[in-house]
Structure 1
Amino acid sequence: MTLTEIRPGAVGGGPVAGRGPWQLAWRRIRTDKVAMVSGAVVVLLCALALAAPLIAAWTGHGPDEQFRDTGITAQGLPVPPNGEFWFGTDRLGRDLFVRVLYGARVSLLVGVVATGMAALVGVVVGLLAGYYGGAVDTLLSRLMDVVLSFPYLIFAIAVVSIAGPSLTATIGVIAFYSWAAIARVVRGQTLALKEREYVEAARSMGAGDLRIMFVDILPNLLAPVIVLTTLLVPAAIVFESTLSYLGLGIVPPTPSWGNLLSEAQGFYRVAYWYLGFPAATLLITTLAFNLLGDGIRDAIDPRMERLFSRRRRTRKGA
């Protein structure tokens, strides 16, 4: 009987396929049913938001078009959901389904753009603070503390009183309050990474500070930044809805989930759909983003997921 020769780097006579950390993370997240379903919901919401003009043209109902004859009852109330108006109508006889889709365009745009701007500023500030340390770190860290401690509604009211409520002002306010959270995480990670051997090797070879920060350190920060960014998008969407609900964000008649909820507050007893559908859409969106962010976090750092699982089993055994 002969033994099969197993060479180094081979299993069963075949080569061993190496897997990088991103491949392993993708493999883990594909087995997470909750994360995959949440990702599908996010993709579907984005697709519906992008297709809102096409859906409006297909139904023949514009976002601001009023249907006085078919969209309002004889008592002057909104019409409930039916074959023509899938989500019913609002107080002016407008198609609520089309307006919710157009509101998704605004809310998702604000959430993604504001979070992207905050991530860009937060990564740069966090890298500078963590890498240089000393007076630079102290100054930038105190700036983060000021931003995180300042009441956001007061700042929003001040900005609106000067610039007026608009999409640009809403994105600016949300980005201003989001970058500090990302900068803190990046700063802490940079403080740990800048002492690693590969950074010392790059420095000894004459690499400049910018190359070390953005070529050697930044790629190792992408995982926590991606996770935090995914979790900040729903916070930005809720922030925008809050500002619009208070009249500090998107100006009607442009639909936003926040101003739709504000318009419906006087009709929830007689027209549940007027308040229910925008609120349910906002809830589903934020929940899907949060669950997707949790899944990405567990896929990138499975040790954290195992730690929580062990704690849950310990509590059950007790």
Structure 2
Amino acid sequence: MSDPSALGTAGPIAEAGPDLAAGGEGPDTPRSLGSDAWHDLRRRPLFLISVALIAVLLVLAAFPQLFTSVDPTAGDLSRSRQAPSAQAWFGYDLLGRDVYARTIYGTRVSIIVGVLATTFTLVIGGVFGLLAGFYGGWVDNLVSRVTDVFFGLPFVLGAIVILSTFRESVGGDAVGITSLVVLTMAVLSWPVTMRIMRSAAIAARDQDYVRAARALGAGPARVIWQHMLPNCLAPVLVYATISLGSFIGAEATLSFLGIGLREPVVSWGVMISEARDYLRVAPFLLLFPAAFLAVTVLAFVMLGDAVREAFDPKGR
């Protein structure tokens, strides 16, 4: 005969369902910050729209041949500045090249520049911010003063000086010029990431889990890499989603000023720079690449705003 006390103990577990009995999450189980943010993001139309736009742009960048079979560098002067038509949806540029094909292929370069600039910015600023926040003292003072120096440099002026100085060293190599533009934007933009990471690191270094790791004999590298970094990434990643769109716009700005990317590189910034002298007679040369640029920047800004609000408990 069964023990009544045993039956009484088994009852609530069975009623709670198999998830709780197996150690899963029930409706009242508290979620982590990341899980809670993801749960909130999936219900935000702003997030869903921005993700859809970015997904389309990534497909354009990865597989441009799926959307056009025209060579973006092939020109015919007899078609110079012809208006949009059934043969060329976006018309032809000054050299008779298909603007639609160039706009599609320009997606790849613009997004690659934005992603690489964001990555380098996060790495440089993240490393300095973690070190300054963890060690404090003279390390924090030194890094903070160096950061203040870079903060005092206007972005456009600093980019003009750096690109004008080192452009001759890379010559006309497209990869070299692209790399120089990426590094220039990262060098001038990392202080913001450093300050965000430093603030997060200062808040994390006094937490109980960091003190416990130190008490157990963990070295500085282990504490920073395994304990502090995962808990300091959220605000930096939020900034990264917003800055990626800003870097794409910055590349177009530098190309428009004539100090960024140049031919034979195909990017939206290069196309806008080439079209500026023909705005009155052929406005479509500027309209289409500028529209793609604006939508891309807007998509990443919307994504960043949605992620920021999801990770901010006070905004819910």
Q: 1:35 to 1:135 in 2, by over 3 A?
A: same
Distance 1:278 1:136, change over 3 A: same
**Counterpart of 1:100 in structure 2: which amino acid?**
T
Unpaired stretches in structure 2, ≥5 consecutive residues: 1-7, 169-176
Partner of 2:228: 217
Residue among 140, 162, 166 paired with 1:163: 166
Deviation at 1:282, TM superposition (A): 0.8
Which digits, 9 at most, give the CA deviation of each residue in 1:243-279, with x for residues without a partner?
1111111111322212211211122222221111111
Distance 1:6 1:86 in 2: 69
| SS at 1:99 equivalent | helix
Cα deviation digits, residues 200-240 of structure 1 (max 9, x gap): 11111111011111111111112111101111101111111
- Paired AA for residue 120 in structure 1: V
Q: Distance in 1 between matches of 2:109 and 2:117?
A: 12
Counterpart residue number, 2:96: 93
Q: Given the alignment, which residue of 51, 64, 81 partners 1:39?
A: 51
% identity of equivalent residues:
39
Distance 1:108 1:206 in 2: 44
Q: Give the TM-score, by structure 2 length.
A: 0.87
Identify the residue that residue 7 of structure 1 maps to in structure 2. Answer: 12
TM-score w.r.t. structure 1 length? 0.86
Query: What RMSD, in angstroms, separates the aligned Cα atoms of the two structures?
Result: 2.2
Among 173, 190, 199, the alignment partner of 1:179 is 190
Cα distance in 2 for residues equivalent to 1:214 and 1:30: 30
| Match among 18, 22, 27 for residue 34 of structure 2 | 22
Q: Partner of 1:7: helix, strand, or coil?
A: helix
Which of residues 268, 271, 289 in structure 2 aligns to 1:260?
Answer: 271
Question: CA deviation digits over 1:71-115, x for unaligned, max 9?
Answer: 33xxxxx12222111111111111001111222211111100111
The 5 A counterparts of 1:136-215 are 136-164=139-167, 166-215=177-226
Tell me the equivalent position of 1:111. Answer: 114
Distance 1:274 1:155 in 2: 29
1:226 equivalent in alignment to 2:231: no
> 1:101–1:5: structure 2 CA closer, same or farther, 3 Å change rule?
same
Q: Is the aligned partner of 1:247 residue 2:258?
A: yes
Q: Deviations over 1:106-153 (max 9, x none)?
A: 111110011101101111110100010010000001111111111223
Q: What SS does the corresponding residue of 1:266 show, helix, strand or coil?
A: helix
Alignment deviations for residues 40-99 of structure 1 (CA, whole Å, 9 cap, x no partner) = 10110111122224544x2xx211111334x33xxxxx1222211111111111100111
Corresponding residue SS for 1:164:
helix
| Equivalent residue letter for 2:190 | W
Amino acid of the structure 1 residue aligned with 2:216: M
Task: State the alpha-carbon separation in 1 of the partners of residues 256 and 65 from structure 2.
Answer: 24
Say if 1:301 and 1:79 are closer, same or farther in 2 by CA, change over 3 A.
same
Identify unmatched segments of 5+ residues in structure 1: 73-77, 307-318
Mapped to 2, the partners of 1:180 and 1:90 lie a distance apart of 39
Q: Is the 8 A contact 1:6 1:12 kept in 2?
A: no
Give the structure 2 partner of residue 50 of structure 1: 62
Contact (CA 8 Å) 1:5, 1:13: kept in 2 or not? no
Task: Say if 2:99 and 2:285, in contact at 8 Å, map to a contact too.
Answer: yes
Distance across 2 between alignment mates of 1:162 and 1:10: 73
Distance across 2 between alignment mates of 1:222 and 1:168:
26
Structure 2 contact 204–232 (Cα < 8 Å) conserved:
no
- Against the structure 1 CA distance between its residues 55 and 14, is the aligned structure 2 distance closer, same or farther, given a 3 Å change threshold? closer
Q: Deviations over 1:134-175 (max 9, x none)?
A: 100000011111111112233222222332171111001111
Structure 2 distance, partners of 1:294, 1:11, is 38
Is the CA contact (8 Å cut-off) linking 2:72 and 2:102 kept in structure 1? yes
- Paired residue secondary structure (2:278): coil
Q: Give the letter aligned to residue 74 of structure 2.
A: E
> What CA distance in whole angstroms lies between the structure 2 residues aligned with 1:14 and 1:152?
54
What is the distance in 1 between the residues matched to 2:14 and 2:295?
Answer: 47
**Change in 2 beyond 3 A, CA 1:14/1:125:** closer
1:273 and 2:278 aligned: no
Q: 1:4 to 1:291 in 2, by over 3 A?
A: farther
Alignment length, in residue pairs? 294
1:237 aligns with 2:242: no
Tell me, yes or no, if structure 1 residue 299 matches structure 2 residue 302.
no
**Counterpart amino acid of residue 92 in structure 2:** T
